[in-house]
Amino acid sequence: MGLKIILADDHKIMREGLRNLLEKHNMEIIAEAGNGREAVKLTKEFSPDMVVMDTIMPDMNGIEATRQIMSQNPKVKVIALSMHSDRQFVIEMLKAGAMGYMLKDCAFEELVYAINSVANNQIYLSPKITTIVLKEYVHGSEKDKSSVFSVLSNREREVLQLISEGKSTKNIAHHLDVSIKTIETHRQQIMNKLRIHSIAELTKYAVREGLTPLET
């Protein structure tokens, strides 16, 4: 039997297309996730060899999902498959533990090659992504000192995404299995750190920073 893979993408048609193509290359798609939280849950349940992960998804984005997967099971390999080549997404996804970053406009043969490379413990980046990573190495990350990834903690980013997607404080507390008071504290800390004091502005910020899709 080939590699056991979980597909995580919020577009069902994308997952179906990948499933049909990858299964022709002796790869077994053991589960599909429509958001990052599902991806974390399914990875814990099925222990795949690899997760092919979109970066921007509702409920939990691919960066946070990758970080949680790596903390639970570092043996699982993650490849980002994204339409976004923004430097911030690339660097944070790799920091989270992804071993590959591909763009969705790549040829399918390149994706298969990338999956096989990562399965053999090699890092694989699309050519455009390689350039971004090299520039990061040479010039450092001075311009990201005020980004959402440097300003907010992992849990604060998770809460911010859920707030921006319209979930109530009670709903978020239930979702994350914490008290309402804890979520209220996180929300206040987020507003203080970002110097933003309305939910509407928080939502705009979350979308602009790529924490959440434009449509959820």
Domain at 49, CATH number:
3.40.50.2300
Distance (Å, rounded) from C-alpha 77 to C-alpha 119?
7
> Backbone dihedral region of 156: left (phi > 0), alpha (psi from -120 to 50 degrees) or beta?
alpha
In the listed set 139, 172, 191, which residue is the last one of a domain according to the structure?
A: 139
Q: Is residue 79 part of a domain?
A: yes
Range(s) of the domain holding residue 26: 4-139
Structure tokens at 165: 């997607």
In the listed set 88, 118, 139, which residue is the last one of a domain according to the structure?
A: 139
44 lies in the same domain as 131: yes
In the listed set 113, 139, 165, which residue is the last one of a domain according to the structure?
A: 139
Q: Is residue 101 part of a domain?
A: yes
Structure tokens at 30: 């053991």
Structure tokens at 108: 């399918």
CATH of the domain at 179: 1.10.10.10
Q: Which helix (H) or strand (E) holds 91?
A: helix 87-96
Separation in Å, CA 83 to CA 52, 53, 56, 199: 13, 11, 9, 27
Residue listed under structure tokens 């008290």: 179
11 lies in the same domain as 89: yes
Question: What is the total count of domains within the chain?
Answer: 2
86 lies in the same domain as 149: no
Per-residue pLDDT of the chain (216 residues; tens, 9 = 90+): 589 999 999 999 999 999 999 999 999 999 999 999 999 999 999 999 999 999 999 999 999 999 999 999 999 999 999 998 888 889 899 999 999 999 999 989 999 999 999 999 999 999 889 888 887 777 665 555 567 888 999 999 999 999 999 999 999 999 999 999 999 999 999 999 999 999 999 999 998 888 887 654
51 lies in the same domain as 123: yes
Distance (Å, rounded) from C-alpha 125 to C-alpha 136?
14
pLDDT of residue 216: 47
115 lies in the same domain as 14: yes
Q: Tens digits of per-residue pLDDT, 176-206?
A: 999 999 999 999 999 999 999 999 999 999 9
